[in-house]
């Protein structure tokens, strides 16, 4: 009987999906070939301009894409502004630290696309964010990869949807794995995507417990490199301005490289969720592999980003193309 019920549920879901469940099959590298053939160059030029204004464009855009895809899928719902009767995703506590430069990058790229009459209101905000993310990675020395296009923008953005959907700085390997697995991503893909922290920055309050309040005699996390812990204390004194941010890669913070993984080997992971990738025997070999080969890391990162870009995509039935990325 239970088996029959399962079959009936599967048939019901399959029937629904015949008409409205989006699939990565709708994505294509040439989605805009007829409607906006030069879209990738238009976006790239806008992103380049923003990048030359501030390097923060890189981590800000990359983090925006990640926070978008992990909540309701890659549908630009993180870009939506709150209204009097709707508190949107971007106003959830976990998203308040998203840097304005990421949002500005998408706004500028969208304006550049819509300035071309042929392209106006043809390209989704979700696709613009996906392209801009690929471009900031390449501009900072990371891999250039082809972006699949054809996402529609989501029709919903609620702060409550963010609860429990984003990784936290103190997560264990099990917690990281289960969160990424919920989005169809493997442990190796999770480790590759964590490598984005090579250009990241963090506010002091996200890791201060590791240098001031850890459950050890010295109050410092023993997994932290001693010299690095001292540096962190000097950059983040106890009553530091909460707006102060420091680089997640203390060695080459402005290069998208594999040094993040080399740092982990030396106990220089800023978050415990970074360092655990090396201290846990189940993930250590992957960290070592990425640390020893930039080529291996880049290939894995590009493949993981492509897979991430397929999460929870919307189609014409459950999405649209926003004229203003901040308005549903």
Distance of alpha carbon 254 from alpha carbon 292, whole angstroms: 20
- Residue 164 backbone zone (phi > 0: left; psi -120 to 50: alpha; other: beta): left
Distance of alpha carbon 126 from alpha carbon 244, whole angstroms: 30
- Residue 76 backbone zone (phi > 0: left; psi -120 to 50: alpha; other: beta): left
Q: How far is CA 175 from CA 67, 72, 171, 230, 258, in A?
A: 17, 19, 6, 28, 24
Q: Binding site for Ca(2+): which residues?
A: 68, 71, 73, 75, 77, 89, 198, 249, 252, 257
DSSP 148: P
Q: Are 151 and 124 in contact (CB under 8 A)?
A: yes
- Residue 312 backbone zone (phi > 0: left; psi -120 to 50: alpha; other: beta): left
DSSP 40: H
Active-site residues, by number, are 67
- Residue 130 backbone zone (phi > 0: left; psi -120 to 50: alpha; other: beta): alpha
Q: Binding site: which residues?
A: 68, 71, 73, 75, 77, 89, 167, 197-198, 249, 252, 257
Distance of alpha carbon 179 from alpha carbon 197, whole angstroms: 18
Q: Binding site for heme b: which residues?
A: 197
Residue 201: its H or E element: strand 201-203
Q: At what angle are helices 39-53 and 57-69 packed, to 10 degrees?
A: 130
In a 3-state reduction of DSSP, which class is residue 247? strand
Here the tokens at position 86 are 């709707």
Name the burial class of residue 304, with classes exposed (0-12), middle (13-18) and buried (19+) by CB atoms within 10 angstroms of its CB: buried
């Amino acid at each position: 009987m239970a088996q029959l019920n399962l079959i009936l549920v599967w048939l019901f879901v399959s029937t629904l999906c015949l008409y409205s469940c989006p699939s990565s099959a709708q994505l294509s590298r040439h989605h805009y070939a007829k409607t906006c053939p030069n879209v990738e160059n238009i976006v790239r030029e806008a992103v380049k301009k923003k990048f030359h204004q501030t390097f923060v464009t890189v981590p800000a855009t990359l983090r925006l894409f990640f926070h978008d895809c992990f909540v309701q899928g890659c549908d630009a719902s993180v870009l939506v502004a709150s209204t009097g009767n709707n508190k949107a995703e971007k106003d959830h506590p976990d998203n308040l630290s998203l840097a304005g430069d990421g949002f500005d990058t998408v706004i500028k790229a969208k304006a550049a696309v819509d300035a071309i009459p042929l392209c106006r209101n043809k390209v989704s905000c979700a696709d613009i964010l996906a392209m801009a993310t690929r471009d900031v990675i390449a501009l900072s020395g990371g891999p250039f990869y082809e972006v699949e296009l054809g996402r529609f923008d989501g029709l919903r953005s609620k702060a409550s949807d963010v609860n429990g959907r984003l990784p936290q700085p103190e997560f264990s390997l099990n917690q990281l794995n289960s969160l990424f697995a919920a989005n169809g991503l493997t442990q190796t893909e999770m480790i590759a995507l964590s490598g984005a922290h090579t250009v990241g920055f963090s506010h002091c309050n996200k890791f201060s417990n590791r240098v001031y309040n850890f459950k050890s005699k010295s109050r410092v996390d023993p997994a932290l490199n001693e010299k690095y812990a001292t540096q962190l204390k000097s950059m983040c004194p106890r009553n530091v301005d909460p707006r102060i941010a420091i680089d997640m890669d203390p060695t080459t913070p402005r290069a998208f490289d594999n040094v993040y993984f080399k740092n982990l080997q030396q106990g220089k992971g800023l978050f415990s969720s970074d360092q655990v990738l090396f201290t846990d025997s189940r993930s250590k070999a992957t960290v070592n592999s990425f640390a020893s080969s930039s080529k291996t890391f880049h290939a894995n990162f590009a493949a993981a980003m492509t897979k991430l870009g397929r999460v929870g995509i919307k189609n014409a039935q459950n999405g649209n193309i926003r004229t203003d990325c901040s308005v549903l």
